[in-house]
């Protein structure tokens, strides 16, 4: 039913396939969803670096992209939806009238499909480090936004994918997506018209919530409205069986082909079109005190109202004027080095338009070059640094931005890292080579140009951690190993020392041997137990860290006598285990007899090598009672009782 609602609101010649599954989810999660894959597209008005969901890309191209030659055979659906099977208060009807104390299932499914078709950002936040980074990167390592990200702006109307403002994996980007830059908004022409000319406020809690932050409409701004579907929390006993005009407008902005449902929701009865702004252009920096404001004429408009404010919410308005032309020169001055926001609406006797899109400009003055900066850390001559360390310098007077360079020579002819930032610290690139000498410098920049470079300092990186170890002997599943074994392994590249562990437990929760060595062999002075299965592993270490553990090998120590142990547990009601050991290669027979002497089962009947063995018996094959277990191996015969209780 929910899929049918969406099919009425969207248009696609390709059937959009949804894999819907019941899942055991957390108690506070009703459902989750997402696209199975993303695609880049080419065409007029489409940025080839932008990613589109599988559903949207197939709808836009008229081609089922996930079924094309070369596509992954593991992906058969455009969208995956998971619904919480443990939630007890679902209302599963379709009447849009859920009883008190229930959650409308159709509403939640509509919401989750909304994420699958494209209502989701792709930035991931690290709450511990207070940093955020892009989930998708292109071949050059630069952020690759999904189409939803392209329309995501901060409160200053700056796009969050502008890495000059918000570097990838930075605190600045984290602050933006958690609303600390005056909120988070979706800014698109059609969605703003659907929201009566206002930007779309997104959900942006101060602590980043994966899967929720900036991937929902603001909870409070859209409560009790036709646009409530894509809020992060669902209300009890509420049904919303429509995406609402704002979501339809967002889909239109993102180039989704719309169906009749969305087209009906977007029909406008406003008397006039919104004006299109011309000058000063968005995010421009103006040095003139007397500014010229221009916009495109609107058909049937008799007058225009212009507002200029110091904040994007237009609470503190600097200018509010009405005129009959499409040009305006204010007769008041603007503060220097300040941000201003402006908008225009068309007026007529028949009615007014919605406000235009909001543009921002800043005022500036002629400034001097910034002062040189002083480097702070890493200190000159620092050694053994792990790539990714903090680089910091002093703030320079009149600086607007900083340029950092790292090179392998003092003349910077071989520059390996260059970055520009608004901040006076960055994390160094994790791609710096290990065990290498580097040189670094920083300069400040502003509107006037480039400041002088700082002094050049040097540092060296630490050695890269070793490669994993490849074990030698004892080899995996070796038998008849002496109880004072010799262990050896292949040398690991860049290893200074090795750590060996030996245990009778495969998870190494208890250790019989743990030693740190500077050689690739170890002769154990400790005597291990006879006829016992042991596991061993080795990892390499150096100043740069530790390698991963090697693969685990198991071996059996020397078996000096052939025998079978009593089965355990005994009696048993589900299963029991027989442990036996062989000191030489021999024919082995283990069979089961009932109390009358009738053989009822053959457990083992084959030739086996020396070692320790385990045979598991299932009670499903036996009635309750007492049985005799006969063990025959060479000249050794043993008979013992076994009881089954059901």
Residue-wise pLDDT tens digits, 172-218: 999 999 999 999 999 999 999 999 889 999 999 999 999 999 999 99
Do residues 117 and 32 share a domain?
A: yes
**Length in residues, the chain:** 646
Q: Specify the 3-state DSSP secondary structure of 55.
A: helix
Do residues 102 and 65 share a domain?
A: yes
Task: Could you list the beta-strand ranges (E) of 466-597.
Answer: 471-473, 478-481, 486-489, 497-503, 513-517, 521-523, 533-542, 545-546, 553-557, 563-564, 575-582, 586-594
Do residues 36 and 151 share a domain?
A: yes
Do residues 46 and 195 share a domain?
A: yes
Across 363-372, 418-427, 470-479, least confident range: 363-372
Do residues 531 and 568 share a domain?
A: no
Do residues 359 and 486 share a domain?
A: no
| 86 vs 224: CA distance, rounded Å | 28
Question: What pLDDT is recorded for position 33?
Answer: 96
Question: What pLDDT is recorded for position 619?
Answer: 87
| 538 vs 219: CA distance, rounded Å | 53
| 94 vs 97: CA distance, rounded Å | 8
| Residue 366 pLDDT greater than 70, yes or no | no
Q: Is residue 143 in some structural domain?
A: yes
Do residues 124 and 222 share a domain?
A: yes
Mean pLDDT of the chain: 93
Question: What pLDDT is recorded for position 491?
Answer: 96
Q: Greater confidence, 72 or 19?
A: 19
Question: What pLDDT is recorded for position 137?
Answer: 74
| 104 vs 94: CA distance, rounded Å | 8
Q: Specify the 3-state DSSP secondary structure of 631.
A: strand
CB–CB of 116/53 below 8 Å? yes
Q: Is residue 82 in some structural domain?
A: yes
8-state DSSP, 551:
P
Question: What pLDDT is recorded for position 301?
Answer: 96
8-state DSSP, 260:
H
- Residue 600 sits in which domain range? 563-644
Average pLDDT over residues 134-149: 82
| Among candidate residues 444, 442, 276, 443, the one with its CA nearest the CA of residue 356 | 276
| Residue 164 pLDDT greater than 90, yes or no | no
| Residue 332 pLDDT greater than 90, yes or no | no
Question: What pLDDT is recorded for position 269?
Answer: 64
Do residues 175 and 237 share a domain?
A: yes
Q: What is the pLDDT of residues 261-272, one digit of tens each?
A: 999 999 876 778
| Among candidate residues 274, 267, 227, 261, the one with its CA nearest the CA of residue 247 | 227
Question: What pLDDT is recorded for position 7?
Answer: 96
Residue ending a domain, choose from 245, 265, 285: 265
pLDDT bin (cut points 50, 70, 90) of residue 567 is very high
Contacts of 67 (CB under 8 A, 6+ apart): none
| Residue 411 pLDDT greater than 70, yes or no | yes
Q: Is residue 179 in some structural domain?
A: yes
CATH number for 306: 2.60.40.10
| 438 vs 429: CA distance, rounded Å | 12
Do residues 34 and 123 share a domain?
A: yes
| Among candidate residues 591, 606, 588, 605, the one with its CA nearest the CA of residue 642 | 591
Question: What pLDDT is recorded for position 45?
Answer: 82
Question: What pLDDT is recorded for position 73?
Answer: 67
What's phi and psi for 249, nearest 5 deg?
-65, -40
Do residues 232 and 196 share a domain?
A: yes
Residue ending a domain, choose from 435, 461, 487: 461
Question: What pLDDT is recorded for position 541?
Answer: 96
Across 194-208, 279-293, 376-390, 429-443, least confident range: 279-293
Domain count, the chain: 5
Percent of the chain with pLDDT over 90: 81
Average pLDDT over residues 475-496: 94
Contacts of 221 (CB under 8 A, 6+ apart): 201
Question: What pLDDT is recorded for position 140?
Answer: 67
């Amino acid at each position: 039913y929910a899929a049918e609602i969406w099919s009425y609101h969207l248009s696609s010649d390709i059937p959009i396939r949804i894999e819907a599954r019941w899942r055991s989810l957390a108690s506070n999660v009703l459902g989750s969803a997402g696209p199975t894959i993303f695609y880049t597209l080419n065409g007029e008005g489409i940025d080839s670096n932008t990613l589109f969901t599988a559903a949207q890309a197939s709808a836009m191209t008229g081609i089922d992209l996930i079924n094309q030659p070369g596509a992954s055979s593991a992906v058969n659906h455009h969208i995956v939806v998971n619904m919480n099977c443990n939630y007890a208060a679902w209302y599963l009807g379709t009447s849009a009238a859920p009883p008190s104390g229930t959650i409308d299932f159709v509403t939640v499914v509509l919401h989750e499909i909304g994420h699958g078709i494209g209502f989701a950002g792709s930035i991931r936040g690290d709450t511990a480090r207070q940093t955020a980074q892009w989930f998708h990167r292109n071949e050059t390592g630069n952020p690759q936004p999904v189409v939803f990200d392209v329309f995501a702006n901060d409160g200053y109307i700056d796009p969050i994918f502008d890495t000059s403002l918000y570097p990838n994996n930075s605190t600045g980007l984290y602050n933006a997506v958690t609303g600390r830059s005056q909120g988070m908004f979706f800014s698109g022409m059609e969605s703003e018209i659907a929201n009566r000319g206002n930007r779309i406020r997104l959900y942006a809690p101060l602590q980043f919530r994966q899967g929720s932050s900036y991937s929902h409409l603001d909870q409070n701004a859209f409560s009790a409205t036709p646009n409530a579907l894509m809020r992060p929390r669902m209300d009890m006993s509420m049904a919303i069986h429509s995406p609402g005009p704002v979501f339809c407008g967002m889909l239109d902005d993102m180039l989704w082909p719309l169906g009749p449902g969305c087209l009906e929701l977007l029909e406008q009865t406003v008397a006039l079109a919104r004006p299109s702004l011309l000058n000063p252009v968005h995010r421009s920096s103006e040095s003139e005190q007397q500014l010229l404001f221009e916009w495109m004429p609107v058909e049937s408009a008799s007058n225009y109202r212009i507002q200029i404010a110091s904040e994007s919410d237009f609470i503190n308005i600097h200018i509010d004027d009405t005129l009959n032309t499409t040009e305006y020169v204010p007769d008041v001055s603007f503060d220097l080095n300040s941000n201003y926001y402006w908008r225009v609406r068309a007026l007529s006797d028949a009615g007014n338009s919605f406000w235009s899109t909001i543009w921002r400009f800043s005022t500036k003055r002629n400034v001097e070059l910034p002062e040189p900066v002083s480097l702070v850390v890493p200190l000159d001559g620092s050694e053994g640094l792990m790539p990714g360390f903090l680089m910091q310098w002093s703030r320079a007077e009149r600086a607007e931005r900083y340029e950092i360079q790292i090179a392998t020579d003092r003349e910077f002819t071989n520059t390996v890292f260059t970055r520009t930032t608004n901040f006076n610290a960055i994390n160094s690139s994790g791609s710096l080579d290990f065990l290498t000498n580097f040189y670094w410098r920083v300069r400040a920049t502003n509107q006037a140009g480039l400041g002088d470079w700082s002094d050049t300092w040097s540092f060296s990186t630490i050695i890269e951690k070793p490669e994993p170890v490849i074990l030698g002997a004892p080899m995996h599943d070796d038998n008849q190993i002496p109880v004072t074994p010799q262990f050896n392994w292949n040398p690991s590249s860049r290893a200074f020392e090795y750590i060996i562990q030996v245990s009778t437990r495969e998870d190494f929760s208890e250790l019989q041997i743990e030693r740190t060595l500077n050689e690739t062999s170890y002769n154990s002075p400790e005597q291990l137990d006879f006829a016992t299965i042991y596991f061993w592993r080795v990892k390499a270490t150096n100043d740069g860290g530790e390698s991963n553990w090697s693969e685990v090998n198991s071996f059996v120590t020397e078996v000096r006598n052939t025998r079978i142990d009593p089965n355990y547990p005994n009696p048993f009601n589900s299963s029991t285990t027989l442990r036996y050991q062989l000191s030489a290669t021999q024919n082995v027979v283990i069979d089961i007899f009932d109390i009358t002497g009738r053989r009822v089962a053959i457990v083992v009947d084959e030739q086996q090598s020396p070692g320790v063995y385990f045979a598991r018996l299932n009670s499903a094959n036996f009635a309750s009672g007492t049985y005799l277990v006969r063990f025959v191996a060479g000249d050794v015969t043993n008979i013992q009782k076994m009881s089954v209780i059901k």
